[in-house]
Amino acid sequence: MMSAEDIRRVLTRIAHEVVERHSGVGDLVFAGIHTRGVPLAYRLAELIGRFEGRFEGDPTPVGELDVTLYRDDINARSRLLVHPTEFPVDINDKRVVLIDDVLFTGRSVRAAMDALADLGRPRQVQLAVLVDRGHRELPIRADYVGKNIPSSHCEEVRVRLAEIDGKDEVVVVAMKRSV
């Protein structure tokens, strides 16, 4: 559905939209949702740094947010892989942009908002996603969307990123049916 070039192009567009909507990035903080939202957040910060002329030591701050323990749709007996939540700056009174790879039911985003509330009180929270596939279970929508990819419940949207998977692409695959 999306090649490496498509991903680069939509991230560039999202970065420009963020800067335009905020008239700059002075009090902006990116919060990448583990796992693939984190490299996307760093890429957006780098893109903004390039076209805003920000110095390497003064990029848009990027936090890494693990929402595993905030999810309401995990089984109590599940083995959980928890990543550290790290923020280089205080998020109080900042404009925070949550960044994730795929927006589906909205449950990860709801969990991310709960996790942010434990870290402080941002002035504003927005959402940027690479892919919006629909099928919301909660009243959540993204402020910045790379691409809308309508899908069925029998399909899975897989985002692969070079930092984690060795290559950039988005594919839609049919899920195997259990018998």
Dump pLDDT digits (tens) for 35-76: 999 999 999 999 999 988 765 556 899 999 999 989 887 765
Q: What is the pTM assigned to this prediction?
A: 0.93
Domain over 4-153 is classified CATH 3.90.1150.10: no
- pLDDT, mean of residues 75-95: 84
Asked whether the predicted pLDDT for residue 177 surpasses 90, the reply is no
What's the rounded Cα separation, in Å, for the pair 164 and 50? Answer: 23
Dump pLDDT digits (tens) for 112-156: 999 999 999 999 999 999 999 999 999 999 999 999 999 999 999
Check: CB of residue 87 under 8 Å from CB of residue 29: yes
| Helical packing angle, 4-22 and 37-52, nearest 10° | 60
